Amino acid sequence: MIPFNKPPMTGNELKYIEQAMQSQKLCGDGKFGVRCQTWFENRLNTERVLLTPSCTHALELAAILIDIQPGDEVIMPSYTFVSTANPFVLRGAKIIFVDIRQDTMNINEKLIEQAISCKTKAIVPVHYAGVACEMDTIIAIANKYNLFVIEDAAQAVNSFYKGRPLGTFGDLAAYSFHETKNYSSGGEGGLLIINNRRFVERAEIIREKGTNRSLFFRGMVDKYSWVDIGSSYLPSEIQSAYLWAQLESYEEINNRRLMLWERYNNSLKILQDKGLIELPKIPTHCKHNAHMFYIKCNTLKVRQKLISYLKDNAILAVFHYIPLHSSIAGKIYAEFRGYDNYTTNESDKLVRLPLFFNMTIEEQDTVIKNILDFKNW
């Protein structure tokens, strides 16, 4: 069976996990945690980053930081994972969905302005498949209406928009190190990126159970105590040790994924030329990270036939997402503003092919050959 995904492994993970264990300190913000954070701060050239137990948690922290109140509205695409919406719903916000673009499956930046009301507090662009949203337009709208921008950059680690890394555009941004993403911290993990300086101190407090423990460790207060609401948003050193091994191979992982992505793209182009499928479209000013390789079939029916045919041939291909506005919780906590021209139609046609760092060329050739042999387009 060719799986849809395997967690990325570069070879040094166990060595670093062992070092963490030998250090006799495994709670958050230890040697490996600090090392990973410094690495990202330098690379992104940003105010502060904080490792979290997941991208979901990083977004929860972000929702608390921008002080979401019951009744506030938050704009995002419906074509996304539930974790884009849940952190804001947990604070009492109403989610406002706008349609996506047909080409990148990202939020259609031209539809955002008409979805804004006096209750709107933030825009949450999702960089789907590691391909950037139109950040120039989105930031301009946010400035015009005085809104926060929180990037869901879960899939966009090591992706760029006009030469600048994704995750550095919004007031706040979140990365995911889940095992299905490009870089993992041992299965689960995330990063909060703080680009707006005003959030740094409070973010550290909320992450440390609502205490000013970070200030205490820096010698800035002589006792630490409960000063604000908070939770425990620190990953363990075991997770950071795993992540450190991945960061050491940052470009190696990226290059391998890009190579596999290009191979799919070149091999399946013949099907696009025959009008049987559509390949992903990458705008020229976006540098993507090969997070995902998907194709679009012409109809939902063909998509389902293709997935089950591949399964019969021991290949796991998957589809996602059920648009959030059609889901049970989406009907309660959200509203689609404007027309659903593409969200449902385009998501119905999409199928994701296996693509992971440790995938072999033989495995990929098997997937390609099977797709080229498929007859029921």
Binding site for ligand PLP (CB under 6 A): 54-56, 80-81, 83-84, 126, 152, 154-155, 176, 178, 190
Residue type, 377: W
- Please tell me the distance from the alpha carbon of residue 240 to that of residue 187, in angstroms, as a whole number: 11
Cβ proximity to ligand PLP, 71 vs 187, nearer residue: 187
Four-point Cα dihedral 325, 330, 334, 336, nearest 10 = 10
User: How far is residue 322 from each of residues 39, 296, 325, 349, measured CA to CA in Å?
Assistant: 36, 15, 8, 12
- Whether cis (ω within 30° of 0) applies to the bond prior to 321 is yes
- Give the DSSP H or E segment for 164: strand 164-165
- Reduce the DSSP state of residue 330 to 3 states and report it: helix
Give phi and psi for 281, each to the nearest 5: -115, 125
Cβ proximity to ligand PLP, 80 vs 344, nearer residue: 80
Cβ proximity to ligand PLP, 152 vs 171, nearer residue: 152
Cβ proximity to ligand PLP, 2 vs 126, nearer residue: 126
Cβ proximity to ligand PLP, 186 vs 230, nearer residue: 186
For residue 113, give the DSSP letter. G
Residue type, 210: G
Residue 347: CB minimum distance to ligand PLP, A: 13
Residue 270: CB minimum distance to ligand PLP, A: 30
Residue 222: CB minimum distance to ligand PLP, A: 36
Residue 161: CB minimum distance to ligand PLP, A: 16
Residue 157: CB minimum distance to ligand PLP, A: 11
Cβ proximity to ligand PLP, 55 vs 286, nearer residue: 55
- Reduce the DSSP state of residue 123 to 3 states and report it: strand
DSSP 124-143: --B-GGG----HHHHHHHHH
Q: By C-alpha distance, which of 323, 264, 324 is closest to 292?
A: 264
Q: For residues 198 and 211, is the Cβ–Cβ distance under 8 A?
A: no
Cβ proximity to ligand PLP, 126 vs 150, nearer residue: 126
- Please tell me the distance from the alpha carbon of residue 301 to that of residue 283, in angstroms, as a whole number: 29
Residue 55: CB minimum distance to ligand PLP, A: 3
Q: How many residues does the chain have?
A: 377
Residue linked to tokens 């002589």: 222
Residue 113: CB minimum distance to ligand PLP, A: 23
Pairing mode, strands 120-123 and 293-297 = unpaired
Cβ proximity to ligand PLP, 61 vs 302, nearer residue: 61
Q: For residues 140 and 171, is the Cβ–Cβ distance under 8 A?
A: no
Cβ proximity to ligand PLP, 125 vs 370, nearer residue: 125
Residue 373: CB minimum distance to ligand PLP, A: 31
- Please tell me the distance from the alpha carbon of residue 210 to that of residue 202, in angstroms, as a whole number: 9
Cβ proximity to ligand PLP, 79 vs 271, nearer residue: 79
Residue 125: CB minimum distance to ligand PLP, A: 10
Q: By C-alpha distance, which of 55, 24, 359, 370 is closest to 188?
A: 55
- Please tell me the distance from the alpha carbon of residue 163 to that of residue 304, in angstroms, as a whole number: 38
Residue 298: CB minimum distance to ligand PLP, A: 26
